[in-house]
Chains A and B, each alone.
Chain A
Amino acid sequence: MLRLVALRLAAFVPTLLATSVILFVAVNVVPGSAAKAALGIDATPQAIARFEHDQGLDRPLHVQYLDWLGKALRGDFGTSFQNHLPVGPELLTRLPVTLELAILAFIVANVIAVPLGAAAARSHRHRTDQVVTLVATVMGAVPNFWLATLLILTFALKLGLFPAGGFVSMAESPLRNLSLMIMPALSLGIVSSALLLRIMRAGMIEVLASDYIRTAVAKGAPAPRVVWHHALRNALIPFLTVGAVEFGWLFGGVVIIEDIFLLPGIGQLVLVGIINRDYPVLLASTLTVTVAVLTANMLVDVLAGILDPREVFVRPRT
């Protein structure tokens, strides 16, 4: 068990380093634009040169990267080119918002996908299955930002049930927080549930056809117990792997959803960083999202190992 965790962690660090290199290079390959964005279009060449020297942008790229990495490891993500505030504390105040949104959306997706997928598999090729599959296909074709628009139109503007946007922290008012979070979470979660539902259904169909289910049925176990106890556990393994990838995509989707619902999360920071070409902000925010995604993937790998003992690392014979 510990060995599995250690192995995953060992693989996690190089991946993280490599992604940080890719992001750093990607953000820095266009020379001069950051200075222009910070100083305005009619900045003199001298002013640009001075800005780049002050910010250390005139050094070789690998020196810049190592400098940035060393500071980032100590929690120092530099200061914003625009408002000259340190980026690290900004990240910390925004991260809970994004995490809450992603987790709520993930819960929504799973609450829809697991029971519906299992029910569809149980009635494979019958009416329920066909209806559920059709619903999944339709849900999968709705872009999340359009769903968000429709939800605002119906529930905020027409019915006045929920506020159209804004944010209040959980600590301040849990009820108000949830009423503001419910539509963003639904727009992300419903769309994600389509893929998860398909995976759940396919996995469940395969498991229900296996020998040990036949055995469980033969020894007289009641059907709900067979489905929910025997089958679900094994169907969850492939589901989890896809779920982790989907969780990552949810994190990508927060950029657009946070923009629509005016949530002050990491996603908004990404957008601000891009529009202003604010490299420290852009790097720190995109890296945070990537770390979250990689962490989710790693946790799922470990969890899949716990659920399925066959996947646990087998010690090689010496």
Chain B
Amino acid sequence: MSTHPAGRGIRAVAVVAFAWRRHRLLVIGAALVVSVVASAALAGWIAPYSPYDVNIADKLRPPNAAHWFGTDEYGRDVLSRTIHAARISIKVATVAVSVGLVGGTVIGSVAAYFGGSLDVGLMRLMELLFSFPAILLAIVLMAVLGTNILNAMTAIGIIFIPGFSRLARAATQGVMRQQYVEAAYAIGMSDLRILGREVLPNIATPLIVEAMQAFAYAVILESSLSFLGLGAQPPEPSWGNMLNSGRGFMDQAPWLGVVPGLAMFFGVLGFNLLGDGLRDVLDPRMRRGLPGPMIPGPMRVHELKGGRLQTVGK
């Protein structure tokens, strides 16, 4: 083990180089996620202007040296607003995914662990929630709860619960057949302890992967709600409400319809790639277990010629 700083640096480079060769998409995804999270966390330092500074004299300026992505209808800097908008997306997605993850895991694992009529009842309820189109359920919940960003988090979180609960239930059922759970039961561990100490760590992998996908979807849902005017309220910038207010100026200022969307696209892409990549790393069976097809491409006809097998046609 090298303790020299230079040695550690070389090791870090080697790890990244290895990761880049083996899991390229994971690295790209992680880089995108890190940059979105960083711009959310450091928005105040990175952004060249305040996202709220109105300057009517400079309104609807196309991209230029002072404003790289132009200005909006109030002369506010689009780049600064796009960077600050990452805050809302990350905040909403973090809370919503946590609500869905915790709620779904508890419901799913409890249903699978105790079984019987509790299982049937809980899963029926989940199926019912699942049968609503997600965005519609979010819109109705927003109408009920009132349009603000805290309610958006709750609404999106509730939408995620059925998906996580299904996954947690299936994974728990798999774990329940393992001997170590039987052993834990045999030595008299309480149900709660078995669920927490034996079951939970062993069902975490698929849930983490799902959480990444849910994160991407939460970003889209939050933007959709804000786009419809039901989520983040102006002047607070959100990718959704920026695109919405840009709708009125599309022929004069097309950048208003492009820049926030591009940021949102890269954020969503990052979480999707990170999720896919993590699944490959954490659950190699998903990767290697996939059987190959019997007919890869055009079939070739082989013939014995002079004692050697030769390809004679397609």
Interface-lining segment among A67-75, A79-87, A248-256: A248-256
Q: Which of B73-81, B94-102, B221-229 contacts A (4 or more CB under 8 A)?
A: B221-229
Contact A29 B136 (CB under 8 A): no
Is B295 a contact of A217 with CB atoms below 8 Å?
yes
Restricting to B124-181, which residues have a CB under 8 Å from any CB of A?
A: 127-128, 131-137, 139-144, 146
Query: Are the C-beta atoms of A145 and B144 separated by less than 8 Å?
Result: no
Distance in angstroms between the alpha carbons of A27 and B136 in the assembled complex: 13
A-chain residues with CB within 8 Å of residue B243 when the two chains form the complex: 145-146, 149
Query: From residue A244, how far is it (CB to closest CB) to chain B in Å?
Result: 11
B297 within 8 A of partner (CB): yes
Q: Could you say which residues of chain A place their CB within 8 Å of the CB of B240?
A: 145
Q: Which residues of A contact B276 (CB under 8 A)?
A: 137
The answer for the CA separation of A126 and B268 in the assembled complex, in Å, is 26
Query: Quick one: given A140-B272, A146-B264, A282-B143, are A248 and B295 in contact (CB under 8 Å)?
Result: no
Interface readout for A157-197 with B: 1 if CB under 8 Å, 0 if not?
10000000000000000000000000000000000000000
Q: Chain A interface: which of B33-41, B58-66, B190-198, B249-257?
A: B249-257
Q: Are A223 and B299 in contact (CB under 8 A)?
A: yes
With contacts A138-B269, A152-B250 taken as known, whether A248 is within 8 angstroms of B133 at the C-beta atoms is yes
Cross-chain contact B294 with A255 (CB below 8 angstroms): no
Interface residue A105 (Cβ < 8 Å from any Cβ of B) = no
**How many residues of B are counted as interface, with CB atoms below 8 angstroms from the partner's CB atoms?**
52
Closest to A289 in B: B136
B 241-263 binary contact with A (CB < 8 Å = 1; else 0): 00100110011001001100100
Could you say which of A125, A149, A248, A253 contacts B247, with CB atoms under 8 Å apart? Answer: A149
Q: Is the CB of A206 within 8 A of B291?
A: yes
Please tell me if A199 contacts chain B, counting CB pairs below 8 Å.
no
Which residue of A29, A213, A249, A256 contacts B144 across the interface (Cβ within 8 Å)?
Answer: A29
CB of B299 within 8 A of CB of A255, answer no
Tell whether A255 pairs with B295 under 8 Å between CB atoms, given A145-B243, A157-B254.
Answer: no
Interchain CA distance A226-B128 in the complex, whole Å:
39
Verify if A150 is at the interface (C-beta below 8 Å from B). Answer: yes
Q: Cβ of A122 and Cβ of B135 under 8 Å apart? A: no
Closest to A142 in B: B265
B257 adjacent to A150 (CB under 8 Å): yes
Write the nearest CB–CB distance from B215 to chain A, whole angstroms: 12
Give A152 to B256 CA distance when docked, in angstroms: 13
Interface size class of A (residues with CB under 8 A): 35 or more
Which parts of A125-159 form the interface with B (CB within 8 Å)? 125-126, 137-138, 140-143, 145-146, 149-150, 152-153, 157
Report the bound CA distance from A143 to B239 in whole Å. 11
Tell me if B136 and A286 are in contact (CB < 8 A).
yes
Against A, the Cβ 8 Å flags (1 = close, 0 = not) of B202-237 are 000000000000001000100110011110000000
> A121 at interface (Cβ–Cβ under 8 A)?
yes
Residues of B within 8 A of A141 (CB): 216, 265, 268-269, 272
| Contact, CB under 8 Å: A19 / B131 | yes
The interface-forming segment of A45-53, A55-63, A109-117, A290-298 is A290-298
| B51 nearest CB across to chain A (Å) | 20
B295 to A226, Cβ gap below 8 A?
yes
Q: Are B135 and A253 in contact (CB under 8 A)?
A: yes
Contact in complex: B228, A23 (CB < 8 Å): no
Complexed CA–CA distance, A259 and B264 (Å): 20
- Give 11 new A-B contacts, CB below 8 A, not counting A206-B291, A275-B229: A15-B127, A124-B293, A137-B272, A137-B273, A141-B269, A204-B293, A217-B295, A252-B136, A274-B140, A274-B143, A277-B143
Enumerate chain A interface residues (CB-CB to B < 8 A): 15, 18-19, 22-23, 26-27, 29-30, 121-126, 137-138, 140-143, 145-146, 149-150, 152-153, 157, 202, 204-206, 208-209, 213-214, 217, 223, 226-227, 248-249, 251-253, 255-256, 259-260, 270-271, 273-275, 277, 282, 286, 289-290, 293-294, 297
Sorted nearest first, the 8 A-B pairs with minimum C-beta distance are A252-B133, A208-B293, A209-B291, A146-B261, A141-B269, A252-B135, A274-B143, A141-B268
